[in-house]
Structure 1
Amino acid sequence: MPEVIFPGPEGRLEGRFNPGPRPRAPVAMILHPHPQGGGTMNNRIVQALYQTFVRRGFATLRFNFRGVGKSQGTFDNGIGELSDAASALDWVQSIHPEAQTTWIAGFSFGAWIGMQLLMRRPEIKGFISIAPPANMYDFTFLAPCPSSGIIIQGDSDEVVTPGAVQKLVDKLRTQRHITIHHDTIPGANHFFADEMPELMKSVDDYLDMRLSGDR
C-alpha cells in the first residue's frame, strides 16, 4: 500500500493508495473518524474497510483529512474536510478515469462526510456508513439520497445513539429507487472494540450481495 501525496484545497494531503489490478477497476475511498477525537486513516476500522475493497480488486484510497498526519491545513468543522474528500476522489479518478463504479465508505465523522459527498457525485453507486453521527450532525441534506447502501450500528454505541440512526434509516427508506440496508451489531460500542469480526462480516456480506449483481 504505497504512500501517496496529492494536492488538496489547503495544500498536500497524505494517503495510502492501492491501484486497481486491471483497467476499468472500480474505485473505493475510505474516510476516517473525527480528527479532533484522534481519527486518522490508520484507524483500525478504516484499515479493515480499505483491505476488503483491495481484496475485491478496487482501486482503493484512504487518506488523512487536513491537519492530520502529513496532510496540510487545519480542522474546518467538516466544511473543508468535504472539500478534501472531493479532491481525493478527483485524484483517484484521474488515475482511473475509466472506472465504472465508485464506492464511498466512512466511519463516524467520516460517514457524515461520505454521505455529503454522495450528494455531490452521481458516480458514487454504493456506500458503507458505519456509526453515522445522526445525533450530532444534520443529515437532512439526504433529500433524496441518490444511492443504495448499508448503515451499520452497534446497539451499545455510547457516542452515536442507536435511536438517532434508526430515525435516519427510517427516513431514507421512504425514498424510492434506492435500498437502505441496516445492520445492528449486538453488544458493540462506538468503536466495535470486541466486535470487529461481526462488523466486517456485515460489510462483506453486503458487498458480496451488491457486487454479485454488478457482474
Structure 2
Amino acid sequence: MPDVIIPGPAGRLEGKYTPAKNATAPVALVLHAHPRGGGHMETPVSMMLYDQFKARGFSVLRFNFRGVGRSQGSYDQGLGELSDAATALDWAQAHNPGASYCWVAGHSFGAWIAMQLLMRRPEIAGFISVSPPTNMYDFTFLAPCPASGLIAHGDSDAIVPHDDMIRAMGKVRSQKGITISTDIIPGAGHLFRDHLTELETSVTTYLDKRLPEVEREKAEPGPVGKR
C-alpha cells in the first residue's frame, strides 16, 4: 500500500494506493468524511471501504482532501473538494489505462462528493454511500441517478437521522434499469463506532451481489451497456 502524492488543484494531495495485479481491473476511489469534523483517509470507515475493493482485485485509491493531513490547500465548502476528487480519479485512471470501469465510495461528506462525481463521470459503474448527509446538502442533483449503488445508514444516526435520508433519497429519480439499494443498520450511529462489522457485512453482501452483474453488463454487446 504505497504512499502517493498527487498534484492537485490547490497543491499536493496525500494518498494511499494499491494497484491491481490485473491490467484491466476496475478502479475504486474512496472519499473520507468532513474535514472540519475530523474526517481523513485513515478513519475506520474509509479504511474498511478501501480494503473491501482491494480484496476484490480493484486498483484502489484513498486520499486526504485539501487541508487534511499532508494535503495542501484549505477547506473549500465542497467545491474544491469535488475538484480534488476528480483530480484523484484522473490520476488513478492514468495509472490504469486498461481499467474496465470505476466505482466511488464515500462516507458522510465524502458520500456527497462521491455522488456529485458520479453525475460527472459516465465511466463510474457503481457507488457505496455511507451516511450521506441529506439534511446538510442538497442531493437533488441526482436527476436522475445514473448508476446503481448502495446507501448504508445507521438507524441511531444523531447527525443525519435515517428517516431524513430515506425521505430525501425517496425523491431521487433513477435511470431505467438503475437501482439505489438502502440498508439501515440497527444501532449504528453516523461514524459506525461499535458497528463497523455490521457495515462491512452490508458492503460485502452488496458488492458480492452487484459486481458479477456489472461484469455481465460490461460484457454485453451493443453501443453502451447499463451502468
State the TM-score, normalized to the length of structure 2: 0.92
Q: For residues 115 and 129 of structure 1, what CA distance do their matches in structure 2 show?
A: 8
Percent of pairs with identical residues: 60
Rate the CA distance shift 1:16–1:38 in 2: closer, same or farther, 3 A: same
C-alpha separation between the residues in 2 aligned to 1:154 and 1:167? 15
Matches within 5 A, 1:61-210: 61-172=61-172, 175-210=175-210
Q: Distance in 2 between matches of 1:176 and 1:55?
A: 30
> Shift in Å at residue 194 of structure 1?
1.3
Tell me how far 1:175 sits from its aligned partner.
4.8
RMSD: 1.1
Superposition deviation, residue 121 in structure 1: 0.3
Q: Is the 8 A contact 1:172 1:180 kept in 2?
A: no
What's the offset of the Cα at 1:172? 2.9
The one-character-per-residue Cα deviations of 1:118-164 (angstroms, maximum 9, x if unpaired) are 00000000000000000000111110111000101000001011122
Q: Summarize deviations over 1:26-85 as a string: whole Å, max 9, x none.
A: 000000000011100001100000011111100000000000011010000000000000
1:91-121 deviations in whole A, cap 9, x for unaligned?
0000001111100000000000000000000
Q: Distance in 2 between matches of 1:73 and 1:4?
A: 17
- Matched residue of 2:171: which SS? helix
Deviation at 1:167, TM superposition (A): 1.6
Q: TM-score, normalised by structure 1?
A: 0.97
Higher mean C-alpha deviation, range 193-202 or range 87-96: 193-202
For 1:48 and 1:162, how far apart are their aligned partners in 2?
21
Q: Which amino acid aligns with 1:51?
A: D
Corresponding position of 2:31: 31
Unaligned runs of 5+ in 2: 217-227
Aligned pairs, number: 215
Instruction: Tell me the secondary structure at the aligned position of residue 183 of structure 2.
Output: strand
